[in-house]
């Protein structure tokens, strides 16, 4: 992830191709190893493209299954469905997102009021805690806008249970710097590490596990491996999934946003003009904003080519009398910034998967064949 090319569909397809040739076959056995900011990752590094849907979950899963065969692709397929699961889960537990934002705001107020906490937080985000692995990951995140999944798990666990910092400030730190920063995957992963998502079951970062899966790069001292899971008074309640709108029969204006920049595969045909809604994550670092801008430009160009229509600035009256259609924006900055009256349409993938995401992941995992079949039947 060091020399990050512009985040475009073309770059994503190139990354997918490299993964199919070089990494996919070893994915299941190697994916837990974190080699650090080395040129060859043990995972696909496709998340910046999937997060913005420059590549769709469906095409990535389908490419890996075609290359490896269904059985050998099982682990990768199920990891992609973790992303789908978190999206669907947050849609039906919106308080998990609003609570995280409120907790982060409260945490920032505490930083202003409590010098001890402020010092501990500054040492953590600047990589000065004295825990070798943690400090290296804090710097790696800020410098490369990336961390391996296992490093994210260890980092979040040390943040919460060893450094005893507020978890929502850690989640906000990730959202600020990660190139794939995603309200659902990030918030719910932090909650999962803390023992709030699967209540009472938390993830403990162990020194031995870190030594092993970083192949001896680190030897972290002073980890608290015995803390209990966090708890909360009011866990987020389940809410019904909001219904999507029907696709209008005639001409439409298309509004693209950062959660879905894959206009070619939208179930619409008659688009007269397209505009973009660029709503970054709150406080996003400049490399993340740049990636968002590159991705948006690319999505708009693809839409203009696909529909033979102009890209127009989103000023007042940009759509004229046409109905405005947008791909579904899951909870997060894009959804919050969508103007009223826009018709929100959902893809088959989300429509088939999200009803299985209300509880734990394993319900969705059992439904993976049915979801894939529903999408293939199009
Ligand atoms: C504390 C914490 C915070 C995280 N924050 C984010 C985030 O903001 N955005 C984000 O996209 N992912 C997040 N993840 C999930 C995961 O770490 C990344 O998706 C993964 O590291 C991306 O690397 P990759 O593309 O090489 O993944 P691969 O292993 O190659 O997997 C392929 C794709 O499957 C999906 N995926 C894989 N693992 C997970 C997972 N555990 N949860 C959800 N989706 C997964 C991703 O879309 C990924 O691109 C977080 C995990 C933790 C523990």
Q: Note down pLDDT in tens along the chain; length 378 residues.
A: 546 789 999 999 999 999 999 989 999 999 999 998 866 789 999 999 999 999 999 999 999 999 999 999 999 999 999 999 999 999 999 999 999 999 999 999 999 999 999 999 999 999 999 999 999 999 999 999 999 999 999 999 999 999 999 999 999 999 999 999 999 999 999 999 999 999 989 999 999 999 999 999 999 999 999 999 999 999 999 999 999 999 999 999 999 999 999 999 999 989 999 999 999 988 999 999 999 999 999 999 999 999 999 999 999 899 999 999 999 999 999 999 999 999 999 999 999 999 999 999 999 999 999 999 999 865
Residue reference for tokens 């999507």: 244
Q: Which domain holds residue 208?
A: 96-213
Please indicate, yes or no, if residue 246 is contained in any of the structural domains. no
Same domain, 258 and 337: yes
**Distance between Cα 62 and ligand 1 center (Å):** 18
Q: How far apart are the first and last CA of the chain?
A: 35
CATH of the domain at 138: 1.10.579.10
**Distance between Cα 83 and ligand 1 center (Å):** 7
Please indicate, yes or no, if residue 134 is contained in any of the structural domains. yes
List the residue whose alpha carbon is closest to atom 21 of ligand 1: 149
Alpha helices in the chain (DSSP H): 9-22, 27-30, 47-51, 57-68, 74-91, 94-113, 115-125, 132-144, 149-157, 167-177, 183-194, 207-213, 286-307, 333-337, 348-353, 361-376
Last residue of a domain, one of 165, 188, 213: 213
The per-residue pLDDT for range 245-272, each reduced to its tens digit, is 999 999 999 999 999 999 999 999 899 9
Burial class of residue 171 in the structure, from the number of CB atoms within 10 Å of its CB (0-12 exposed, 13-18 middle, 19+ buried) = buried
Of 173, 9, 191, nearest to 86 by C-alpha is: 191
CATH of the domain at 57: 1.25.40.80
Regarding the beta carbon of 86 and ligand 1, being less than 6 Å apart is answered yes
Same domain, 264 and 329: yes
d(CA 23, CA 170): 30
The per-residue pLDDT for range 16-73, each reduced to its tens digit, is 999 999 989 999 999 999 998 866 789 999 999 999 999 999 999 999 999 999 999 9
Domains contained in the chain, number: 3
Regarding the beta carbon of 180 and ligand 1, being less than 6 Å apart is answered yes
Same domain, 100 and 76: no
Regarding the beta carbon of 194 and ligand 1, being less than 6 Å apart is answered no
Residue 81 Cα distances to 42, 302, 327, angstroms: 19, 26, 19
Same domain, 264 and 341: yes
d(CA 285, CA 175): 9
Please indicate, yes or no, if residue 239 is contained in any of the structural domains. no
Same domain, 342 and 358: no
For residue 246, say whether it is annotated as part of any ligand binding site.
no
Strand partners, 257: 260, 277
The per-residue pLDDT for range 316-328, each reduced to its tens digit, is 899 999 999 999 9
Same domain, 183 and 84: no
Q: Which of 47, 64, 186, 350 to mutate to test the pocket of ligand 1 (most atoms within 8 A of CB)?
A: 47
Same domain, 65 and 135: no
Please indicate, yes or no, if residue 321 is contained in any of the structural domains. yes
**Distance between Cα 45 and ligand 1 center (Å):** 9
């Amino acid at each position: 992830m060091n020399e990050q090319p512009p985040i475009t569909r073309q770059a994503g397809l190139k990354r997918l191709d490299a993964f199919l040739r070089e990494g996919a076959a070893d994915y299941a056995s190697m994916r837990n190893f974190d080699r650090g900011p080395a040129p060859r990752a043990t995972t696909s590094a496709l998340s910046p493209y999937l997060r913005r849907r420059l590549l769709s979950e469906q095409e990535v899963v389908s490419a890996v299954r075609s290359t490896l065969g269904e059985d050998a692709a099982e682990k990768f397929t199920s990891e992609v469905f973790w992303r789908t699961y978190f999206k669907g889960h947050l849609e039906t537990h919106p308080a998990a997102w609003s609570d995280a934002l409120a907790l982060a705001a409260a945490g920032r107020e505490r930083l202003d009021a409590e010098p001890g906490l402020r010092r501990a937080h500054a040492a953590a985000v600047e990589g000065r805690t004295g825990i070798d692995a943690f400090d290296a990951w804090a710097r790696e995140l800020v410098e490369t806008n990336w961390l391996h999944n296992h490093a994210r798990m260890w980092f979040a666990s040390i943040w919460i249970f060893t450094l005893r910092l507020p978890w929502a400030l850690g989640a906000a730190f990730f959202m600020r710097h990660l190139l794939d920063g995603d309200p659902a995957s990030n918030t719910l992963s932090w909650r999962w590490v803390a023992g709030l998502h699967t209540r009472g079951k938390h993830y403990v970062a162990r020194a031995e596990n870190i030594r092993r899966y970083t192949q001896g790069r680190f030897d972290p001292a002073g980890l608290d491996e015995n803390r209990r899971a966090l708890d909360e008074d009011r866990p987020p309640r389940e809410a019904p999934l909001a219904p999507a709108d029907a696709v209008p029969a005639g001409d439409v204006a298309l509004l693209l946003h950062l959660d879905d920049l894959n206009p070619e595969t939208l179930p619409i045909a008659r688009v007269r003009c397209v505009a973009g809604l660029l709503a970054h994550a709150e406080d996003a670092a400049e490399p993340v904003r740049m990636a968002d801008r590159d991705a948006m430009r690319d999505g708009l160009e693809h839409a203009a080519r696909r529909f033979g229509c102009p890209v127009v600035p989103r000023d007042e009256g940009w759509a004229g009398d046409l109905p405005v259609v947008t791909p579904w924006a899951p909870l997060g900055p894009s959804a919050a910034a969508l103007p009223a009256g826009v018709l929100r349409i959902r893809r088959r993938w989300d429509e088939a998967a999200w009803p299985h995401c209300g509880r734990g992941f394993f319900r969705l995992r059992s439904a993976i064949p049915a979801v894939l079949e529903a999408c293939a039947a199009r």
